[in-house]
Each structure stands twice: as C-alpha cells, then as structure tokens.
Amino acid sequence: MMVNLIGPCGMNCGICMAFLRKKNKCNGCRAMNDWNPKTIVECRIKNCQLLKENGYEYCTSCEEYPCKLIKHMDKRYRTRYGMSTIENLETIQSKGLTVLEAEQKEKWTCKECGGVINVHKGACSSCGKPRQSEE
C-alpha cells in the first residue's frame, strides 16, 4: 500500500472497491486524473474549505476535527465495514504514516493468497475469500 492512498479523512483508498476494480478504476482521492468518480469529485470532506484554505494534508490538523462529516463517515465505516477512519487519522497523528501503512497492510492483506481485501465487499479482491474476523 502506498502512503499517497490515505485520504485527508483517513480512508485507505487502496482497499476501496473503486480503486480495486478493473474497469473505470479510481486512483484514489489524492490523484489528479482524467476520470474521477462522482464520489471523489463531490466529496464534501476532500472539498472542505478549511482543508483547502489552510493546506491541511489530513483532517486532524483542522481546528474543527473531528467535524460532523468525519464523525458520520467513521460511524458508517465502523458499522458497515469494520474500519475506522478516525482511528487511522489518530494513528497518523500519534505514530506516523509509516506505522499506519504497516498496520493497514497487515489488516487488509488476504491470509490465503496475499491479495488486497476489499473493505466494501469484505473479501479478497484476488481470490474472493472472505476477510477473517479479528479475534
């Protein structure tokens, strides 16, 4: 996983369904390319005026962190997909991006084939094996 795939909100774009698909592949919310999915173009977090005005790389730098947008996204992802964007951001803030990258690689790598687990489908994007629950 590459560090430029961690969005300002703490989302790991490298495990996202849009990034992992073959057709109309998204390159992550930080990528500037000819084709961007509507979800990225219209993302209220990525387009946050405070982020842009202040040149913040991650939402944790903002005086309004965690704002209602971040809280809502985190709740949805924790509930539906078993991951926390706030936890990712706090790891970046306290331990650094390299530590988050290592943790994400461990958590989202298929134990069966070494492929990337799709956070939205809960299964490996290579072999299709369901993600093993953390115990």
Model pLDDT, residue 88? 96
Give the range among 32-36, 70-74, 98-102 with minimum mean pLDDT: 32-36
Least Cα distance to 108 among 14, 4, 3 occurs for 14
Please report which confidence band the pLDDT of residue 126 belongs to, taking 50, 70 and 90 as the band edges. very high
pLDDT digits (tens, 9 = 90+) for 15-59: 999 899 988 888 888 776 666 666 666 788 888 888 888 888 899
Helix (H) or strand (E) holding 71: helix 68-81
State yes or no: pLDDT of 134 exceeds 70. no
Contacts of 21 (CB under 8 A, 6+ apart): none
Q: Diameter of the chain by CA atoms?
A: 44
CA angle 55, 25, 36 (to 5 degrees): 45
State yes or no: pLDDT of 135 exceeds 80. no
Using alpha carbons, list the distances in angstroms from residue 132 to 20, 26, 110.
19, 26, 8
pTM for this prediction: 0.86
DSSP for residue 61: G
Least Cα distance to 45 among 25, 26, 29, 33 occurs for 29
Report the length, in residues, of the chain: 135
Domain ranges of the chain: 3-124
CA angle 20, 22, 28 (to 5 degrees): 45
Model pLDDT, residue 69? 94
State yes or no: pLDDT of 118 exceeds 90. yes
